[in-house]
Amino acid sequence: MSWIQKLVETYDNCQSMIGVEGKDTPLLPIFHTTQKAQIEIALDKEGNFLRANVIPNEDARTIIPCTEQSGGRTSGPAAHPLCDKLQYVAQDYKKYGGSKKPYFSLYSDELEKWCLSAYSNPKIEAVYQYITKGSVIEDLIAEQVLVANEQGRLEEDKKKYDRENIPPIFGLLEKQEDAFIRWLVEIPGDPEARLWRDQSVWNDWIKYYSTLDADSNLCYITGENSRLTKNNPAKLRNDGDKAKIISANDSSGFTFRGRFTTGEEAASIGTIPSQKAHFALRWLIAKQGYRKGDQAVVAWATNGKEIPSPTSDLFEILGFEEMTEDQKRKDYTAQEQATRLRNRIAGYGKEIDATTDIVVMGLDSATPGRASITFYRQLNGSDFLERINNWHEDCSWIHTYRSVEEEDVPTGKKKKRYPPFIGAPAPKDIAEALYGNRIDEKLRAATINRLLPCIIDGQPVPRDMVETAVRQASNRAGKEYWEWNKTLSIACSLYKNYYRKERFTMSLDQDRNTRDYLYGRLLALAESLEEWALQESNEKRETNAARLMQRFSERPYSTWQTIELSLSPYKSRLGGKSKKRQRMIDEVVSQFETNDFLNDKKLTGEFLLGYHCQRAYLRTLVVQNNLEENNNEENN
């Protein structure tokens, strides 16, 4: 239960964030939940109808009071005490053709009890006075928020309207009767009419609901006798998420029967600790977690301070603007980028001392209604930051697959630029490099789960992943150039991580004379020479070196003979200009031990490192030659 304790601690440390609006899910007050509302109704303080309107989708998220039952309801009836769907709120629901069972009595009874308590509120009383008039749908039709057909019932056929004249409510819902209602109560002198944003309404509901009788027993979280929860909150990963981490519904399936009589015997958790923990987790996932399908991964500091995400690459940690602004300078170096990462990690360290608890948690779903914790680690602040820094250093390589949109000054149009960045690739990008962009969601989630111990515990990347990445990078067939280039740099990252004791460098190591590294250099030189010749004659096709790359990785000596013979016409086409490139090939060949060069054994992933480094070195030479030519022209 330590994860619940840490989340409760986080919730208590982040009280100032409760209800703060933003693009993400807010941190909720206890005994509240969120729903997406489609209609808001404005009343005066006497409960008279003023107006109503359809809510734009971007403003639909609404904080509402809830009971323990309604907060976790799925298909069974359980009324929210203030805001709810028409079948709960509208007494005239059946009169206007509602097809579902009406639950107005459940809703009105819940609201009446609140109004009669010592924690009532004038705005709540206004809502109660209005709903007892029984004219909710009638007023909404008169206001043209809902649409009635010729029989005076709610229109069900949205297809009868053309696109230009379709009522706004049909732009949000398939059926009008599914509309969710929220309230405004306008009282002179009170600046907050929105009940879903009124903290006095939140506090009155919390005080009232806390006084209601409920079963109490030993809470496993606090160690005290307190009100126990029977229905833990859902909606952890998004507003439509019905999966729960803690559930003791044993009416079918018989999960614990034979061991326990009731769910409380398995685990008894207080209502308030449960709500705090689940609300904090939901807020953290929305604010700083990784979410894809049913999987969610989140890391947080219990003191509420910002920390780097373990599932982010350097671009996300440093920020797109900061990265691209630096790289516009011609003298910007890779060393500066590594220094910037260390400085950023050190900056986090100023906010997070060695005693601060950091928690990393992964969630996934086995079924739509059940979520499980697939990964959990608890570390102190200094250890966490050190491991994040080590991951980016051990897995660092030059990547160019992240893009930013910039405005082209002459045309004014947006264009993509791919600035290089150095560091570890994000786990989601590693999964795509291993299994393709159309990877199955379960396989993606499993891959990320296997990578988390590498990031958090410092374990090497699994060997099978390294071999898969090398195999994918060696096989260029069927891949777009950008996709293969991304796979290549990620394969180099993973290989460097697995063989970290070798201390491979990202720059060309001209003194390294291992067989695989040298063969990778040869392939890059041959490819470069042929590309040069093709550009001279304006030909656009794949080079022989690129086409034979997979075969080269399996039988390097015999394939090199084929590639070298195919270079003859390109050498002739370039003439004396290719002599420097030919001399570089000869120098690399001369570094081989005789037996190594003649060995046709399959290459390891090290050849990709030599290949990638040699390509980068050749591009640097081209840039330098162009600069020298421009300087000579200016001087002349």
pLDDT class for 405, splitting at 50, 70, 90?
A: confident
pLDDT, average across residues 111-118: 96
Percentage of the chain lying above the pLDDT 90 cut: 61
pLDDT in tens, 346-365: 777 777 877 889 999 999 98
pLDDT, average across residues 33-49: 95
Integer Cα distance of 425 and 493 in angstroms: 8
pLDDT, average across residues 483-510: 94
The predicted pLDDT at position 330 comes to: 45
pLDDT exceeds cutoff 60 at 331: no
The predicted pLDDT at position 555 comes to: 96
- 331 Cβ partners below 8 Å, 6+ apart? none
Which three-class secondary structure string do you get for 92-105? CCCCCCCCCCCCHH
The predicted pLDDT at position 332 comes to: 46
The predicted pLDDT at position 633 comes to: 41
pLDDT class for 297, splitting at 50, 70, 90?
A: very high
Kindly list the distances between the CA atom of residue 181 and the CA atoms of 39, 235, 619, in Å, as whole numbers in the listed order: 5, 19, 62
Integer Cα distance of 211 and 51 in angstroms: 35
The predicted pLDDT at position 627 comes to: 41
Integer Cα distance of 554 and 226 in angstroms: 67
Could you give the count of Cα atoms lying within 13 Å of 378 in the half-sphere of its Cβ?
A: 11
Within 10 A of 462 (CB to CB), how many other CB atoms are there? 16
pLDDT exceeds cutoff 60 at 626: no
pLDDT, average across residues 78-83: 94
pLDDT class for 335, splitting at 50, 70, 90?
A: low
pLDDT class for 592, splitting at 50, 70, 90?
A: very high
In sequence order, what are the beta bridge partners of 290? 297
The predicted pLDDT at position 340 comes to: 74
Average pLDDT of every residue of the chain: 88
pLDDT, average across residues 154-175: 88
pLDDT exceeds cutoff 80 at 74: no
Integer Cα distance of 466 and 460 in angstroms: 10
pLDDT class for 567, splitting at 50, 70, 90?
A: very high
pLDDT class for 75, splitting at 50, 70, 90?
A: low
Which three-class secondary structure string do you get for 345-357? HHHHHHHCCCCCE
Integer Cα distance of 220 and 5 in angstroms: 10
pLDDT in tens, 203-247: 999 999 988 877 788 888 888 888 888 888 888 888 788 888 887
The predicted pLDDT at position 619 comes to: 85
Pick from 526, 465, 509: which is nearest to 609 by CA?
Answer: 509
- Asked if 10 and 304 touch (Cβ cutoff 8 Å), the reply is yes
pTM, to two decimals: 0.86
Percentage of the chain lying above the pLDDT 70 cut: 92
Integer Cα distance of 604 and 111 in angstroms: 70
